[in-house]
Amino acid sequence: MADPLAVAREFLAARRIAVAGVSRDRNQPANLIYRRLRDTGHEVVAINPATDRVEGDPCYRDLRAAPGRVDGVVIATPPAAAAEVVRACVDLGIPRVWMHRSFGEGSVSAEAVALCRSHGIGVIVGGCPMMYCGRVDLGHRCMRWILEKRRRIEV
């Protein structure tokens, strides 16, 4: 079994990362992830079909509408929307996906995971980029430890 830390670092080495599920409410987890990635030097692309601006940046209705190549996608949508995001990743040749999840269901759907695996997309199932990205706060360090021990992060 692959080491979650190594796979997370590989994912976070990508330069241009989209976050699907950002919100007009800046306190949502997807927005926290979006800001952290942006603050750690990534070029971040906001994806939400219901708005054209998030965090003061342009926002796109889906991955297909975003300009340029995306190297990875963090999915922070309801699970029912995750498979459609992965279908766009397949169509666009995006090589890696991270499905956000802490203690509940998160954004993980069995269909989306199966689509990633059947199309050779590297997938992290569970956890949060904030547990590995930049200076990690105490809460995310504790969450990482708990989720890794409970095997809630699959790579």
22 in any annotated domain: yes
Q: Is residue 26 part of a domain?
A: yes
Joined together, the tokens standing for residue 97 give: 């996906």
Beta strands in 69-155 (DSSP E): 72-75, 96-99, 122-125
Cβ-contact 15, 42 below 8 angstroms: yes
Higher pLDDT, 136 or 2: 136
Query: Could you tell me the two tokens for 107?
Result: 């954004």
Residue located via tokens 């890794």: 148
If one counts the domains in the chain, the total is: 1
| Helix, strand or coil, per DSSP, at residue 25 | coil
Residues counted in the chain? 155
Tokens of 90: 């397949």
In this predicted structure, the answer to whether residue 128 has a pLDDT above a threshold of 70 is yes
The verdict on residue 155 lying in a domain is no
Assigned domain for 93 exists = yes
Integer Cα distance of 102 and 106 in angstroms: 6
Nearest to 89 by CA among 18, 33, 30, 36: 18
What confidence tens digit (pLDDT) does each residue in 132-155 have? 998 899 999 999 999 988 888 999
The type of residue at 64 is: R
Per the DSSP assignment, residues forming a β-bridge with 72 are 17
For the residues 82-90, what does the mean pLDDT come to? 98
Mean pLDDT, rounded, of the chain: 95
Quick check: is 13 in a domain?
yes
**What pLDDT is attached to residue 59?**
98
> What is the Cα–Cα distance from 57 to 50, expressed in whole angstroms?
14
Q: Within a domain: residue 100?
A: yes
Q: Is position 154 within any domain?
A: no
CATH number of domain containing 41: 3.40.50.720
More confident residue, 26 or 103: 26
Q: Does residue 145 lie in a domain region?
A: yes
| pLDDT range class, residue 1, cuts 50, 70, 90 | low
Tell me, what's the pLDDT at 121?
98
Residue type, position 60, single letter: Y
User: What pLDDT score does 103 carry?
Assistant: 79
14 is in which domain, residue-wise? 4-149
CA separation for the pair 74, 56 (Å, rounded): 19
Between the CA of residue 75 and those of 24, 137, 138, what are the distances in Å?
16, 21, 23
Q: Which whole number is the average pLDDT over 81-85? A: 98
